[in-house]
Structure 1
Amino acid sequence: MSTLDQSTVDAIVTGQHIDPFSVLGLHEAEGKLVLRAMRPEAHNVTVLDAKTGKKIVALEPVHDGLFEAVIPRRKKRFDYRLQMTRDADTWIERDAYSFGAVMGEMDEYLLGEGTHGMLWKALGAHVMDHDKATGVHFAVWAPNAKRVSVVGDFNGWDGRRHVMRRRGATGVHEIFLPDLGDGTTYKYEVLDANGTVLPLKADPVGFGAELPPRTASVVRDLAGYNWSDAGWMTKRGAYHKIDTPISIYEVHLESWKRVPEDGGRSLTYRELAADLVPYAKYMGFTHIELTPVSEYPFGGSWGYQPVGLFAPTSRFGTPEDFRAFVEACHEAEIGLIIDWVPGHFPTDTHGLGAFDGTALYEHADPKEGYHPDWNTLVYNYGRTEVLNFLIANARFWFEEYHIDGLRVDAVASMLYRDYSRKEGEWVPNEHGGRENLEAIAFLQRMNEAVYAADDSIMTAAEESTAFPGVSAPTSSGGLGFGFKWNMGWMNDTLRYMGEDPINRKYHHDKMTFGLHYAFSENFILPLSHDEVVHGKGSLLTRMPGDDWQRFANLRAYFGFMWGHPGKKLLFMGCEFAQVDEWNNESSLDWHLMDQTPHAGMQHLVRDLNKTYAATPALYERDCKPEGFRWIDGGNAADSVFSWTRQGYDGTPPVLVVTNMTPVAREGYRIGVPASGHWAEILNTDAAIYGGSNTGNPNGADSQDTSEHGCPYSIEIIVPPLATVYFKLNNA
């Protein structure tokens, strides 16, 4: 007869018991040792002595998979194994309920306080040694759950088998399962407060995931990787300062290049290391930026609806493979930036939504917790544990994967409570305003945390409004980002470029307005994936005119962009003038490189990057008004723009002249700030780029004739639909 009362037996066998560690395993009862095991997959269970392998006692079935027996002739706890049989099968296992807790008091304290800077070290699934056994420690936050079980192939996905231990007031559940290791597939079975079984959940802090469309988490051992990028890590901070050249190649890994000989599959992380990284280096980009690599279920979201924030997507390989890709970037002295999405998450049932039966990560009120634009859920930034989860995730990518920067997606949607909402569909803040004070505080804390941990990294915000101080220090009330995407510049200039040249004189201000605020933030000029999707067409097809004019327009625009204050970002395919709109399900059209205009465009972008990096006047004061001076920004009639860029004292200035009409301007006099020879160092109309080869190969000597408010001037030919750079050369 069992020593348990019937209610306890019923709770154990139905998986409803809230503290199975108090029942299962080895326990003292009335001066005797009693061992109980919940093994519904077995017909018989026998206890073996771990040292000798000899049988100690056969457990008796109590009810529906629950076995129990008094241990004869033993008064003290001992090391044992369970031998199970089912029909002709026999196997031996260690008992998960024979192990003590793993999580320590300090982890509990920091988790309870919401200040665990390395949250991923405590939660998630960790391969480890514990109580003289090797296995996996599982820990998950689910404070309102009646119980949580870890399930997988190892227990037949039976939630009654491995119910986890609740760790006090932290809301964390944990269990150590011996003899599991890297590659184990698992999920969490959660019972809400009413005892209702929820859809199986992936691990919020899981380090790996199954290949979509499968949705389970996968144990990945992150320890022991032998990094070889110490040289880069010690100097990378110099690549992220506002007075250094930063030119970013934005890449969607799944569609950058595919393998037609193998069913059109995407490249793996290691193949990308061997192909993408050398290409970006050849093109002169200083950084690669990846659309989100955190695991995401729907490929059509491009990663912007992630479920596994701590897991690099398995689409291209393992975490170790991703680390190899990062190392390849660093070996080539290329920084790696990843897009990060802390603004919302999808409603997929295996994800974070209603994780323990309550609005745990999200707001309960859909006016705060539901995003109408993307049919997603919004994080509750006012909850301490959610802040801890997100801030720790930001640190995780820097610590565990040596990435160099985070570009935070959709910041504007986080900053304003009424973002994309109609009157009555949003909740004002405590002061009655529209600003999301909790999200603002989160972004400030996140930036403070990652820069405090390592100030050699960079963060950038995709922020489309005039919210002040995005890249200002938090000490002065700013958000603390290193850089901000200049969405206004992008929108205005692309609208201008879409105009027929005959009409551009009426829209001249769209090219000049950005200089009114160009130094209010540390700006990156982005021509991103968002500009070549959703029916917008490619950059090339957005240019007016015949084929020659379209290419010339785009070349002139790139020249304008690289000469304009601000760091640079270009989406993949734009560098060789992809014709078709970007399709995330197919490769870029690399065959276009066999055609002269496309090869010429690629050559131009490469030379723009090389010229930019080699010319301090084009980057040293990118974020300072002292680095820019209009020569003539008001020549709307001719659609000609001219300005100088200036680096630190003693750096030769650069003159930039852009002609946005198909008419060459001969004998064009332009003021210059200094006397001497002005050498033409780049001309987007050069024949090698596919242009008409109109220009000033011999440069121009200044004359003592004032023009445009300058004491000197030069007389040049301004090519049609082109941008030309001149550098003062008095050597």
Structure 2
Amino acid sequence: MKTYTYSKQDLSFIEQLSQAYCKDPFSYLGLHQAGDVSVIRVFLPEATTVKILSADGQILSEALKIDDSGLFVAQLSQQYSSLNYRLRVGYSLAEIDLEDPYRFTSSLLPMDNWLLAEGTHLRPYEILGAHLKTQEGVSGVHFSVWAPNARRVSVVGDFNYWDGRVNPMRFHAESGIWDIFLPNVEKGALYKFEILDSNGNIRLKSDPYAFASQFRPDTASVVTGLPEKIEVDAKLRHANDPDQPISIYEVHLGSWRRHLENNYWLNYEEIANELIPYVKDMGFTHIELLPITEYPFDGSWGYQPTGLYSPTSRFGSPDDLRTLIRKAHEAGINVILDWVVGHFPTDSHGLTEFDGSHLYEHQDPREGYHQDWNTLIFNYGRHEVFNYLSSNALYWTERFGIDGLRVDAVSSMIYRDYSRKDGEWIPNQYGGRENLEALDFLRRTNRMLKKEGHGAVVIAEESTSFAGITHSPEENGVGFDYKWNMGWMNDTLRYMSLDPIYRQYHHDWMTFGMMYQYSEKFVLPLSHDEVVHGKCSILGKMSGDCWQKFANLRAYYGYMWGYPGKKLLFMGNEFAQGREWNYNESLDWFLLGEQGGGWHKGVLNWVRDLNRTYQKYPALYQLDYDPAGFEWLVVDDWQQSVFAFERKAKNGESVIVVSNFTPVVRHNYRIGVRQDGTYTEILNSDAAYYEGSNVGNYGEIECEAIESHGKPFSIELSIPPLSTIFIACQPKPKEAVEAEQDIVKMAEVAMQKALKPTKKTVSVKAKAHKKAHKNKK
């Protein structure tokens, strides 16, 4: 046996490597100079022999095992500044050839390292995480992770028997990032980061930047490679604009529809084949997906994610999800992702105390802990955390073609005292309750998406009256494109729950929203939050017996589709599911058959026709955020609970919406209108086709030159019970109007002529006047 003289460095690294706390393995392992010769050091705990091979397979040297822990040292016959070599490693039962990870230099460029440290890298996911790549002609995976306070970080997986001693990573002190290139690791490999924290504890963590994850309850990350960029048709992104019709169908993929035989989920492919044609037929323009970033607990519905860059494996692979989105785009449907960046769960494999410190969250629970949800709050003031979250928005829009993000629980982000009592929160630096760091994060992310997102929009679920949510950051706003109108939703649902006899006393609940309508760009939401936790279904919130409930619901939907603002409806509400939503079961599709008695199919048909009418008439959407697009015609008829308003398009065309929220038919109800023309009832929620009583206005509605409601013309209607009707006006052609004006002028001239004295009459009158004057003298 060869003798070996141990240096102090050898003894130090033997202990560090064998005890798995080596922070700088590249300074010792791999190819190094030792006096006049080169040495190669290898640490393989289970190996019995190691030989050094040249690139062509020749044995350059046999390594000496200098410690039972698995440290081998090979001395080469000459000096090498670099060397393309391989290892032939003997184990008790086999001998295999391996690449040495410690002969490869870091692929982390100085500029990337600097930008990551500064927290200004636009696309950090292109660097961090697990990336398939080829280095020096060898294929493998480059791993990197941010863990500045760790004493040691190793990549572990099937490829090294989950042994944290085998592949400790290189530490970049200036950025806190660890990286290593592992040759011959392939797509599909499972991996985690084993972290020795500053307190000496071992933490096994999933990759925060993982692009795929194991199916729960397993928690490993999966090597899959960064998805390619997706080019989205500009026409699709134009469909997000404020002057376009936006009708959103909110979907939870795990419960929209399931396999009947085993109650198991549909996969992404099956969902694409069934959901997209359905949404297209129903006339919705957008699909909004409840969170699909990886999450461990089904009952969280996705709102407690552990993998923001990883589509949930419940329904298939990331590529399968990309295919679903592509098929939606091919059908002309945009896709919005419910984006959860307000908090994260406390699961040990996730972000919590990632490197032993409060890396992603605040240390003080008064800033960093959500009592209501048992979750942790991101530290938005930390540059690297900001970068991790902000770039995630770009990741979904660029790599998956997502057309918009709906940001969850914005109120909990921007208020430090959200759901907290006095003494349970810390004021900001100015003594206020606003979370200035969260507001800065939202503003900067929204601004970045405006520049880089190619038309992708951002929607805020914000339940307070915080001013300027949809105003630009330059106007001291937050920069969202749209905001959920929670106030309108709460007021109107409260009104609809009342018995019609009492609605007259709360008439303003249906009109108050117009007081602040133009302060933000609103979406009218009937979301998943309104059909869970004992709140009843939307149908269940309606007052009355069965007939009245369905009539009320149809009337309410009609009012909503006519009212200014984009529309959002949670799945199941389009056919009036009677029970609350259950995330663990399919929707009650059987209600559309004979068991539903026709009621549910009637609502389905109504929503379909609402969507189609909504898209057909620009008056119903073009000027949602311009006061010129809306005018009350009847707003004060509280005794009869009747509302009427006119929606207007940019070209002046209009649609009149009339609602009657009592079960009494209103015959001969006169409404003032601003222009003469042909008026036609284009939608009626009481039609027999929708299972109504079939009261309505058939054919054309006569417009009369009778003043009413301050208008020069008026129409007389029959307003059905508990209904909403839509009336379109076709103004008289210009030629007809001009002809009528000519007739009026001719009539006026004729009248003036009839009243004007003739020459004979004037002469007789003059003589009489002269005679009378003479007699007077």
TM class by smaller structure: over 0.9
Matches of 2:283 and 2:129 in 1, distance apart? 39
Query: What is the match of residue 747 of structure 2?
Result: none
Q: Which amino acid aligns with 1:615?
A: Y
Query: What is the match of residue 616 of structure 1?
Result: 618
Q: Which amino acid aligns with 1:557?
A: Y
Query: What is the match of residue 284 of structure 1?
Result: 283
Secondary structure of 1:276 counterpart? helix
**Within-5 A mapping of 1:234-313:** 234-261=234-261, 263-313=262-312
Query: What is the match of residue 701 of structure 1?
Result: 702
Greater Cα offset, 562-571 or 46-55: 46-55
Q: Is the 8 A contact 1:47 1:59 kept in 2?
A: no
Matches of 1:77 and 1:500 in 2, distance apart? 85
**Within-5 A mapping of 1:30-429:** 30-54=35-59, 56-72=61-77, 75=80, 77-198=82-203, 200-223=204-227, 230=231, 232-261=232-261, 263-429=262-428
Q: Is the 8 A contact 1:406 1:459 kept in 2?
A: yes
Q: CA deviation at 1:505?
A: 1.3
Query: What is the match of residue 6 of structure 1?
Result: 11
Q: CA deviation at 1:53?
A: 4.5
Secondary structure of 1:440 counterpart? helix
Q: CA deviation at 1:89?
A: 2.4
Q: Which amino acid aligns with 1:184?
A: A
Alignment deviations for residues 517-555 of structure 1 (CA, whole Å, 9 cap, x no partner) = 111111000000000001111111111111111111110
Q: CA deviation at 1:223?
A: 4.7
Query: What is the match of residue 597 of structure 1?
Result: 599
Matches of 1:193 and 1:524 in 2, distance apart? 48
Secondary structure of 2:518 counterpart? coil
Q: Which amino acid aligns with 2:703?
A: S
Q: Is the 8 A contact 1:188 1:203 kept in 2?
A: yes
Q: Which amino acid aligns with 2:623?
A: R
Secondary structure of 2:726 counterpart? strand
Greater Cα offset, 57-66 or 697-706: 57-66
Q: CA deviation at 1:73?
A: 5.6
Q: Is the 8 A contact 2:61 2:75 kept in 1?
A: no
Q: CA deviation at 1:506?
A: 1.6
* CA distance 1:421–1:686, change in 2 (3 Å): same
Secondary structure of 2:40 counterpart? strand
* CA distance 1:75–1:453, change in 2 (3 Å): closer
Matches of 1:264 and 1:72 in 2, distance apart? 67
Matches of 1:666 and 1:711 in 2, distance apart? 21
Alignment deviations for residues 591-615 of structure 1 (CA, whole Å, 9 cap, x no partner) = 1111311111111101000000000
Q: CA deviation at 1:237?
A: 3.1
- Say how many residue pairs are matched: 724
**Within-5 A mapping of 1:460-539:** 460-539=459-538
Q: CA deviation at 1:301?
A: 0.7
* CA distance 1:224–1:247, change in 2 (3 Å): closer
Alignment deviations for residues 437-496 of structure 1 (CA, whole Å, 9 cap, x no partner) = 111111100000011113411111000111111111111111011101101001111111
Q: Is the 8 A contact 1:254 1:585 kept in 2?
A: yes
Secondary structure of 2:87 counterpart? strand
Matches of 1:104 and 1:545 in 2, distance apart? 68
* CA distance 1:109–1:74, change in 2 (3 Å): closer
Query: What is the match of residue 725 of structure 1?
Result: 726
Matches of 2:410 and 2:192 in 1, distance apart? 31
Gaps of 5+ in 2: 733-777
Q: Is the 8 A contact 1:57 1:72 kept in 2?
A: no
Secondary structure of 2:427 counterpart? coil
Q: Is the 8 A contact 1:704 1:711 kept in 2?
A: yes
Secondary structure of 1:394 counterpart? helix
Percent identical among aligned pairs is 52
Matches of 1:363 and 1:73 in 2, distance apart? 54
Gaps of 5+ in 1: none
Matches of 1:395 and 1:325 in 2, distance apart? 19
Matches of 1:721 and 1:699 in 2, distance apart? 22
Alignment deviations for residues 554-611 of structure 1 (CA, whole Å, 9 cap, x no partner) = 1011001000000000000100111111000011111111131111111110100000
* CA distance 1:635–1:108, change in 2 (3 Å): same
Q: Which amino acid aligns with 1:564?
A: Y
Q: CA deviation at 1:153?
A: 0.9
Matches of 2:684 and 2:566 in 1, distance apart? 20
Matches of 2:373 and 2:227 in 1, distance apart? 36
Query: What is the match of residue 631 of structure 1?
Result: 633
Alignment deviations for residues 383-422 of structure 1 (CA, whole Å, 9 cap, x no partner) = 1111111111111111111110001000011111100000
Q: CA deviation at 1:90?
A: 2.4
Q: CA deviation at 1:65?
A: 2.0
Matches of 2:196 and 2:258 in 1, distance apart? 43
Matches of 2:267 and 2:239 in 1, distance apart? 27
Secondary structure of 2:680 counterpart? strand
Matches of 2:727 and 2:375 in 1, distance apart? 50
| TM-score in terms of structure 2 length | 0.91
* CA distance 1:615–1:75, change in 2 (3 Å): closer
Matches of 2:235 and 2:283 in 1, distance apart? 19
Query: What is the match of residue 763 of structure 2?
Result: none
Q: Which amino acid aligns with 2:544?
A: G
Matches of 2:48 and 2:700 in 1, distance apart? 91
Secondary structure of 1:170 counterpart? coil
**Within-5 A mapping of 1:582-593:** 582-593=581-592
Q: Which amino acid aligns with 2:101?
A: A
Q: Which amino acid aligns with 1:516?
A: M
Q: Is the 8 A contact 2:236 2:329 kept in 1?
A: no
* CA distance 1:65–1:717, change in 2 (3 Å): same
Q: Which amino acid aligns with 1:474?
A: P
Greater Cα offset, 37-46 or 559-568: 37-46
Matches of 1:77 and 1:671 in 2, distance apart? 89
Q: Is the 8 A contact 2:36 2:78 kept in 1?
A: no
The RMSD of aligned alpha carbons is 1.4
* CA distance 1:609–1:461, change in 2 (3 Å): same
Q: CA deviation at 1:143?
A: 0.9
Q: Which amino acid aligns with 1:121?
A: E
Greater Cα offset, 292-301 or 41-50: 41-50
Secondary structure of 1:688 counterpart? helix
Q: Is the 8 A contact 2:489 2:526 kept in 1?
A: yes
Q: Which amino acid aligns with 1:235?
A: K
Secondary structure of 1:606 counterpart? helix
